[in-house]
Amino acid sequence: MHNGVHKEATAVSNSIKTILSDLETRNSGQPEFLQAVREVLTSLEPVVERFPKYSEMKVLERFVEPERVIMFRVSWVDDDGEIQVNRGYRVQMNSAIGPYKGGLRFHPSVYLGLLKFLAFEQVFKNSLTTLPMGGAKGGSDFDPKGKSDGEVRRFCQGFMTELYRHIGQFTDVPAGDIGVGSREIGFLFGQYKRIANQFTGVITGKGINWGGSEIRPEATGYGVVYFAEEMLATRSEDLAGKRCLVSGSGNVAQYTVEKLIDLGAKPLTLSDSDGFILDPDGIDADKLAYVLELKNLRRGRISEYAERFPRASFTSAGHGASNPLWSVPADCAFPSATQNEVSGVDAQNLVANGVQLVAEGANMPTTPEGVERLMSAKVLYGPGKAANAGGVAVSGLEMTQDIEHLSWTREQVDDRLRHIMRAIHTNVRAAAEEYDRPGDYVLGANIAGFVKVADAMLEQSTV
């Protein structure tokens, strides 16, 4: 390497190390946020070396600090008449390329660091969609599991009674995530409308008769499978006949399975936090209809699948360093439950059992050790911020339809979703090639997502 270039590389690498160590000091106790930032900043080294303007203008330092964090109390009354208190949040990370956009998560594990990681990832993902959306995430440590409809409604109304003043169709547009589905979106939107006295597209994932978009419920799962098809096509392969592992059994998992069935693949598994089911005959359309009814209407547990279909088995979740779901022999894997659900050992098991492709429906489901193992084994690895961007992309299309007061057909939205997933795939691969790392979807997604937002920040000056 030329001496000057080498010096520049070392200086950049040192300055990124300094940013990371400052960040660790200032955000100790937020391991998921630090994990997400570490991966991204490390892969941005070559772009920062090539364009000193990013260091000079302190773009990385600005990227890792949310523009605004809102934390608030949510008090509500449970079915026994007791007052309950939860914590609500909205992390407004970056608005350089559009209004803040990102989901709401209701889960007992929610705390500021988790939402900062999700909001940080969202900035890159939204940039990749080709649509004008900034990044945000919010939610609460409220646990919807086991709560009555009335309790969920009262919680959602309390949550929105504070959140409404911080959001708006041109300011910040929330949507669903873990624990926030169509029921919760309805309660949240209804309360927003009541307080603001305005019917606007302030939330996405709305019902089809009140401003929602066709294909939004399906979009994340369909998009992941479209992205997987694109990845396989680079090796002249397709999904027909492929045995697929899917984790989770919520929104993303359900529509991943639906699209896999459509394309002739054989989905074998689903899971929830209690464990996983393995159906050696494959989950077909009728069995999937049962899962949708079980999870979305009865709010039951996935273990019931094995009671209903006796050829399937249920395995309880262990607490060790590995999840037996990822040891099932298969061709492709679609982690679609939660962060850090694929450990280094799990990744090793996937590779040992023949998996050639991992496309992430969940956000950051693979640990850094896991990513390292998959990439060194030359598995086609599609990180969440690229592979699962279809959900927020169709949210962006919902925003456009709301503003124009019209609705596109299923075919129109699905067609746009396919085009967007193809464009993301092309752009991510092009960025990886431009930086001499062909086929590296992690580097490609981080760089392609970064450049657009970073240049917007530079053009908008010191914000």
137 in catalytic set: yes
Site string for ligand NDP, 74-113 (x = CB under 6 A): -----------------------------x----------
Q: CA-CA distance, 127 to 47, in Å (whole number)?
A: 16
Alpha carbon of residue 197 to chain centroid: 31
What minimum distance in Å lies between the beta carbon of 291 and ligand NDP? 10
Segment interacting with ligand NDP (CB under 6 A) among 14-22, 24-32, 250-258, 349-357? 250-258
User: Which residue's Cβ lies closest to ligand NDP?
Assistant: 250
* Member of 10, 28, 171, 273 binding ligand NDP (CB under 6 A): 273
Residue 252 engages ligand NDP in binding (rule: CB under 6 A): yes
CA distance from start to end of the chain: 36
CB nearer to ligand 2IT: give 125 or 429. Answer: 125
Alpha helix ranges (H) inside 129-181: 149-163
Contact set with ligand 2IT (CB under 6 A): 101-103, 125, 175, 177, 204, 363, 391-392, 395
**252 contact, one of ligand 2IT, ligand NDP, none, CB 5-8 Å limit per kind:** ligand NDP
**336 contact, one of ligand NDP, ligand 2IT, none, CB 5-8 Å limit per kind:** ligand NDP
What single letter denotes the amino acid at residue 158? Answer: G
Q: List the one residue out of 216, 212, 194 whose CA is nearest residue 203.
A: 212
H and E: helices and strands count for the chain:
17, 13
What minimum distance in Å lies between the beta carbon of 102 and ligand 2IT? 5
Residue 157 engages ligand NDP in binding (rule: CB under 6 A): no
Report how many residues bind ligand NDP under the rule CB under 6 A.
Answer: 23
CB nearer to ligand NDP: give 179 or 382. Answer: 179
**156 contact, one of ligand 2IT, ligand NDP, none, CB 5-8 Å limit per kind:** none
What single letter denotes the amino acid at residue 104? Answer: L
User: Which residue's Cβ lies closest to ligand 2IT?
Assistant: 103
Residue 361 engages ligand NDP in binding (rule: CB under 6 A): yes
**Beta strand 83-94 with 243-246: parallel, antiparallel or unpaired?**
unpaired
What values do phi and psi take at 293, rounded to 5?
-65, -45
What minimum distance in Å lies between the beta carbon of 391 and ligand 2IT? 4
| CA 300-306-311 angle, 5° bins | 160
CB nearer to ligand NDP: give 161 or 315. Answer: 315
CB nearer to ligand NDP: give 74 or 104. Answer: 104
Residue with tokens 């300094």: 18
Residue 424 engages ligand NDP in binding (rule: CB under 6 A): no
Q: List the one residue out of 363, 337, 334 whose CA is nearest residue 239.
A: 334
Q: Which residues of 76-99 are buried (b: 16+ CB within 10 A; e: fewer)?
A: beeeeeeebebebbbbbbbbbbbb
Q: Is 55 exposed, middle or buried, given 0-12, 13-18 or 19+ CB atoms closer than 10 A?
A: middle
CB 103 within 8 A of CB 111: no
Two structure tokens written together for 163: 């959140």
Interacting residue ranges for ligand NDP, rule: CB under 6 A: 103, 176-179, 181, 220, 248-253, 272-273, 336-338, 361-363, 388, 391
Q: Which residues are catalytic?
A: 137
